[in-house]
Amino acid sequence: MSKIWAGRTDGTVNKLADDFNSSITFDSRMYRQDITGSMAHAAMLGAMGIITKAEADALIDGLQNILDDIDNGSLAIDVNCEDIHSFVEQELTARLGDVGKKLHTARSRNDQVALDIRMYLRDEIDEISKLLRKLIGAVTDKAQEYKSAIMPGYTHLQRAQPITFGHHLMAYAMMLLRDLERLSDCRKRLNISPIGCCALAGTTYNTDRYFEAEKLGFDGICMNSLDGVSDRDFCVELGADISLIMMHLSRFSEEIILWSSWEFKFIELSDDYTTGSSIMPQKKNPDMAELVRGKTGRVYGNLLGLLTTLKGLPLAYNKDMQEDKEGIFDTCDTVKMCLGVFEGMITTLKANTDNMLKAAGGGFINATDLADYLVKKGMPFRTAYKLSGGIVADCIKSGRVLCDLTLEEYKNYDNSFEADLFDEISLETCVSKRISEGGTSVSSVEKQIKYIKSKL
Ligand code: ARG
């Protein structure tokens, strides 16, 4: 395939070097953005009198036809071309003749590729946000369903205090909501147009960068042409934002894996989201959750890879920057798959509320409430804490839990214990009393659900 840049040389390159240099196998996915960007560019050239109105119209028509033909499958993208930009320009010239050669006036592939990636990732952000919203909705609905299902809350993976499954789920809804906000914040900085920065220094033509920016839905233009073609911050930012999403999904996955184990048996995943073993007939494996946890690694890797690629680059464009795409594309593909699968996995999971309650009944998770009871009777907290710890130790020795002791036994520890103690340390009370803002009580969880819904 001849090169659009043949001139100083005849454009022939060693075959291996040519393959090495080519990016069309991965940048062809930006064909829509590339063509749409070129249409806006042609329109601007026509509007500013850089080319004639008729020429601009011919270019726009030709580009639209190419887009339609790729969309309907009648035009295959030629992988022998160097990149998607060359392919579109060469195809346009093949169709229109000399007029096609006017498209690249007052433009460089450097600002063109920067434009394409921004437009591509802008669409990806919108798509990911939509999936994220759906997942937050699914998590919130599950929380509503289980807002009064008592389970042990953990610290250090040791039973700590009773909470509800709804409260636990809402913690993830809050994390995912932050992720959603981060994406929209990233979109603001991304949605600035680099087109018209040209190779690095701007252009001598009388262009209108605002015209193009507005036509393509940007909120503004990059104000320094060197920065405009060199900036890949938005790829890093998006990669970091998605890394956080993956980190949250990975923590959630870890819990789902634990909860669905025989040891916990807190939840049952739908058969639709589990697999079996080729040898062990009893197995029902949480592969989807494990894969999400596993894929988090490659998303982090993509982020680190890009940061490392960028760190030593002088201004302005360097070919190293062609390495920006595969990582961030893979990151977007990966998170979209994970979010989609996760939503179904959450929607279909069932909690084993009996087992959750049973687990909450062991492990002295109402010991804080025992101490708090004594505090309300007038004992200083540290004294109450110590006495309660002693009672727990005695219970462990005698193989009982706090609710098993009689009032007489409690009175032997301290005379301020009364019959109302048993209600105070019941799991239901422990949960329902935690009405502080953001706490685990049903009313608080309901408030959290309302808050999330107002944000969606
Ligand atoms: N394929 C290139 C990339 O992805 C397009 C820009 C090429 N610019 C250039 N001066 N060689 O970065």
Q: Is the pLDDT of residue 425 over 90?
A: yes
pLDDT of residue 207: 98
Which domains are assigned to the chain? 15-105 (1.10.275.10), 110-204+226-358 (1.20.200.10), 367-425 (1.10.40.30)
How far is Cα 366 from Cα 368, in angstroms, rounded to an integer?
Answer: 5
DSSP-derived pairing of the beta strands 192-193 and 350-351: unpaired
Q: Which residues contact 440 (CB under 8 A, 6 or more apart)?
A: 153, 162, 163, 164, 167, 431, 434
Give the pLDDT band of residue 11 (cuts 50, 70, 90).
confident
For residue 201, say if its preceding peptide bond is cis, omega within 30 degrees of 0: no
For a pocket test of ligand 1, which of 82, 113, 309 has the largest count of ligand atoms closer than 8 A to its C-beta? 113
For a pocket test of ligand 1, which of 18, 19, 23 has the largest count of ligand atoms closer than 8 A to its C-beta? 23
Q: Is the pLDDT of residue 218 over 90?
A: yes
Q: Is the pLDDT of residue 187 over 90?
A: yes
- Output the average pLDDT for the chain: 96
Work out which ligand 1 atom sits closest to the CA atom of 5: 11
3-state secondary structure 1-28: CCCCCCCCCCCCCCHHHHHHHCCHHHHH
Q: Is the pLDDT of residue 362 over 90?
A: no
Average the pLDDT over 189-196 and give the result.
98
How far is Cα 394 from Cα 397, in angstroms, rounded to an integer?
Answer: 5
Q: Is the pLDDT of residue 325 over 90?
A: yes
Protein residue with least CA distance to atom 3, ligand 1: 322
Q: Is the pLDDT of residue 278 over 90?
A: no
Helix (H, G, I), strand (E, B) or coil at 420: coil
The string of DSSP letters for 243-278 reads: HHHHHHHHHHHHHHHHHTSTTT--EE--GGG-B--S
Cα of 195 to ligand 1 centre, how many Å? 14
| Residue 223, token pair as written in the block | 């104000």
pLDDT of residue 410: 95
- Residues touching ligand 1 (Cβ under 6 Å) are 23, 27, 83, 109-110, 113, 317, 321-322
pLDDT of residue 398: 95
Question: pLDDT tens digits, residue range 41-80?
Answer: 999 999 999 999 999 999 999 999 999 999 999 999 999 9
Quickly count: other Cβ atoms within 10 Å of residue 418's Cβ.
Answer: 13
Give the pLDDT band of residue 370 (cuts 50, 70, 90).
very high
Question: pLDDT tens digits, residue range 93-134?
Answer: 999 999 999 999 999 999 999 999 999 999 999 999 999 999
Q: Is the pLDDT of residue 283 over 90?
A: no
The string of DSSP letters for 318-376 reads: -GGGGGHHHHHHHHHHHHHHHHHHHHHHHHH-EE-HHHHHHHHHSTTTTHHHHHHHHHH
Q: ∠ CA 50-200-84 to the nearest 5 degrees?
A: 75
For a pocket test of ligand 1, which of 19, 29, 108, 110 has the largest count of ligand atoms closer than 8 A to its C-beta? 110
pLDDT of residue 1: 78
Long-range contacts of range 46-52, CB-CB < 8 Å, 24 or more positions apart?
47/208, 47/211, 48/205, 48/206, 48/207, 48/208, 48/211, 49/206, 50/105, 50/106, 50/205, 50/206, 50/207, 51/102, 51/105
Cα of 43 to ligand 1 centre, how many Å? 23
Helix (H, G, I), strand (E, B) or coil at 68: helix
What proportions of the chain, in percent to the nearest 5, are helix, strand and coil?
A: 65, 5, 30
Protein residue with least CA distance to atom 2, ligand 1: 322
Average the pLDDT over 413-431 and give the result.
94
Q: Is the pLDDT of residue 277 over 90?
A: no
pLDDT of residue 62: 98
Q: Is the pLDDT of residue 280 over 90?
A: no
Burial of 329 (0-12, 13-18, 19+ CB in 10 A): buried
| Residue 54, token pair as written in the block | 């008729």
Catalytic residue among 156, 278, 398, 436: 156
How far is Cα 39 from Cα 441, in angstroms, rounded to an integer?
Answer: 57
How far is Cα 224 from Cα 111, in angstroms, rounded to an integer?
Answer: 12
Backbone dihedral angles phi then psi of residue 194, each to the nearest 5 degrees: -90, -10
Active site residue 129: no
How far is Cα 163 from Cα 147, in angstroms, rounded to an integer?
Answer: 10
